Amino acid sequence: MINIHIEMSSMKKWVLITGASSGIGKALAFEFAKNGFNLFLTARNENALTEVSEACQRKFNIESEVFPADLADAGSTDDLVKEISGRKFDVLVNNAGFGIKGDFVETNIHDELKMLHVQLIALLRLTKAVLPKMVESKRGNILSVASVYSFAPAPMQSVYSASKAFILHFSSALQNEVKNANVQISVVCPGITQTEFRTRAGIADKKASGMTAEKVAETSFLQMMKGRHIIIPGFQNKFFVFMAKYIPSELFTSVVRWINNRRGVNQRS
């Protein structure tokens, strides 16, 4: 395991990004580095994580640390929390996650529990670790990556969509709790994004579309810095959320299933 410790300067801003070796997390690492942030990056894939770190250092002349960790594993999460204990981060990005596709009666419960550990338990533990110092100093941002499915149950991705709803509601409640501490809680809700996330989830989308990870990262960063709480990148995603809010839940759940059937998303492997 590589752990390059660099003393954090009080004059420089640091961001902690989970799931930073690929997809939206990788794009966010480049976006923050482009805007002068030093990076603390974590993900499972040590080689890919190191490549992202070194590329950002070369291109943007910033400092970067890597700490490989599997957030599906409680012990690995413990190690990460211990590593950041006592440090002050200006921004925490809870990005790590993966999806599982299939009817709940057929999917593997152990895989789903691992997913919840990554997307919920690790998120809670890292937020608990960094937020008190932000509140104390009256400065900081937390950006968590949810989904348009935060607003709508998704058949054949039931646990995934429910976990994203948790992230949205948790973030909104937290924003209210810290509103007088000058700490901003933001949650980004992307839709289909051009990353390897869908491949890992076993989703075979017939229509290759969606926003690029780079565009999602750019929009997320800019809107977070403007103090936006809920960030929905792209017109199609905004329209999806609009429909989810105003169409009865039972009906819209059927609409989501129909859309995903048309796209081939629900096609069995």
Judge whether 35 lies within some domain: yes
- Which of 67, 160, 197, 252 is catalytic? The answer is 160
Task: Check: CB of residue 191 under 8 Å from CB of residue 210.
Answer: yes
Give 162's pLDDT tier (boundaries 50, 70, 90).
Answer: very high
Low-confidence winner among 24-38, 95-109, 188-202 (lowest mean pLDDT): 188-202
Give 198's pLDDT tier (boundaries 50, 70, 90).
Answer: very low
Q: What is the mean pLDDT of the chain?
A: 90
Q: Where are the beta strands (DSSP E) in the chain?
A: 14-18, 38-42, 64-66, 91-94, 140-145, 183-188, 193-194, 211-212, 230-231
Polymer length in residues for the chain: 269
Judge whether 223 lies within some domain: yes
Give 6's pLDDT tier (boundaries 50, 70, 90).
Answer: very low
Which CATH number goes with the domain that contains 45? 3.40.50.720
Judge whether 56 lies within some domain: yes
Judge whether 157 lies within some domain: yes
Judge whether 1 lies within some domain: no
- Torsion sign, CA atoms 216, 221, 227, 229: positive
Overall number of domains in the chain: 1
The pLDDT of residue 268 is 56
Low-confidence winner among 3-7, 110-114, 151-155, 159-163 (lowest mean pLDDT): 3-7
Q: What is the pLDDT of residues 52-86, one digit of tens each?
A: 999 999 999 999 999 999 999 999 999 999 999 98
Provide the CB-side half-sphere exposure for 46 (13 A, CA): 7
Percent of the chain with pLDDT over 90: 78
State which residues form the domain around 157: 14-263
The pLDDT of residue 159 is 97
Give 11's pLDDT tier (boundaries 50, 70, 90).
Answer: low
Judge whether 77 lies within some domain: yes
Judge whether 9 lies within some domain: no
| pTM for this model (two decimals) | 0.88
The pLDDT of residue 264 is 66
Mean pLDDT of 189-204: 64
The amino acid occupying position 230 is I
Over 60: is that where the pLDDT of 163 sits? yes
Percent of the chain with pLDDT over 70: 87
Verify whether residue 246 is a known catalytic residue: no
Mean pLDDT of 115-134: 98
